[in-house]
């Protein structure tokens, strides 16, 4: 996406308010209404005690997002994307982590596609997920923002999901994984974007971004031990 503050976050105060709303599920980004007993930040629908395919998919996507964000080259890019925008108040450790993700993931969607594509296919090739198709698609927003690319995951039962590794740039309440219809309706209403078609694998970023090697399954394993 374009290197600017997302359209629905106009001021530092707005972002501080969103960040401070409470603990959010790492998959659906909803604030918890019922406390989960799982050790990580997941709601009951997506925590480690839920072994549904959708919950498993969500936790794999979170592991992929974390592995991407922890690459040294990506860390440097995220620092540059955050710029000098700072909160007015002191944030807790969890709030600061979310603040950094929201601002740091700006303009990194195409980079995430390049880095995650191969390992995404490897991890979701397991029979338990029953995935029949994985492809990159692009949504075209209005004049203020450039195109945004995400992964489409289609199961053999024809249920379709969107995995958006960098969607948190639109705000802390943006999901990492959700059903396609939900994602399409939300990005259309809030970001004023519409599906443009299959994404190009060509990276339109800098040479520094193009030099980032794709992630391997081994690099993600530490994040998915509790699946």
pLDDT digits 0-9 by tens, 9-62: 445 666 666 666 677 899 998 887 655 444 468 888 998 889 999 999 999 999
Per the domain annotation, does 199 fall within a domain? Answer: no
pLDDT band at 205 (very low <50, low <70, confident <90, very high): very low
**What domain range includes position 54?**
19-194
Report long-range pairs for 221-227 (Cβ below 8 Å, ≥24 apart). 223/62, 223/63, 223/64, 223/66, 223/67, 224/59, 224/60, 224/63, 224/123, 226/40, 226/48, 226/59, 227/48, 227/56, 227/59, 227/60, 227/63
Per the domain annotation, does 205 fall within a domain? Answer: no
The C-alpha atoms of residue 47 and residue 54 are separated, in whole angstroms, by: 11
Per the domain annotation, does 215 fall within a domain? Answer: no
Choose among 81, 203, 179, 188: nearest CA to 141.
188
Per the domain annotation, does 110 fall within a domain? Answer: yes
Per the domain annotation, does 90 fall within a domain? Answer: yes
Per the domain annotation, does 183 fall within a domain? Answer: yes
Average pLDDT over residues 171-179: 91
Q: How many distinct structural domains can be found in the chain?
A: 1
Query: How far is the CA of 167 from the CAs of 100, 109, 180, 187, in angstroms?
Result: 13, 8, 14, 10
Per the domain annotation, does 4 fall within a domain? Answer: no
CB 212 within 8 A of CB 114: yes
Cβ contacts of 144 within 8 Å, gap of 6 or more: 2, 4, 7
pLDDT on residue 23? 77
Per the domain annotation, does 9 fall within a domain? Answer: no
Q: What is the token pair recorded at 111?
A: 């980079």
Give one word for 141, left, alpha or beta, with left for phi > 0 and alpha for psi -120 to 50: beta
pTM for the whole structure: 0.82
């Amino acid at each position: 996406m374009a290197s600017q503050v997302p359209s629905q976050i106009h001021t530092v105060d707005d972002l501080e308010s969103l960040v401070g709303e409470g603990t959010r599920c790492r998959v659906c980004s909803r604030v918890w209404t019922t406390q989960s007993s799982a050790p990580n930040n997941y709601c009951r629908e997506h925590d480690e005690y839920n072994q549904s395919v959708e919950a498993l998919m969500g936790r794999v996507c979170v592991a992929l997002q974390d592995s991407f964000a922890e690459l040294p080259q990506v860390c440097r890019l995220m620092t540059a994307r955050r710029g000098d925008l700072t909160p007015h108040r002191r944030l807790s450790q969890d709030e600061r982590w979310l603040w950094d993700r929201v601002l740091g993931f700006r303009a990194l969607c195409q980079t995430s596609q390049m880095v995650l594509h191969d390992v995404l296919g490897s991890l979701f090739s397991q029979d338990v997920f029953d995935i029949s198709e994985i492809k990159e698609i692009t949504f075209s927003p209005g004049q203020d923002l450039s195109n945004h690319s995400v992964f489409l995951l289609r199961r053999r039962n024809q249920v379709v999901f969107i995995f958006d590794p960098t969607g948190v740039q639109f705000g802390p309440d943006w999901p990492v994984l959700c059903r396609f219809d939900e994602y399409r309706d939300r990005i259309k209403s809030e970001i004023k974007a519409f599906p443009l078609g299959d994404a190009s694998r060509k990276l339109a970023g800098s040479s520094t971004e193009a030099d980032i090697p794709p992630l391997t399954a081994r690099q993600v394993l530490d994040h998915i031990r509790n699946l």
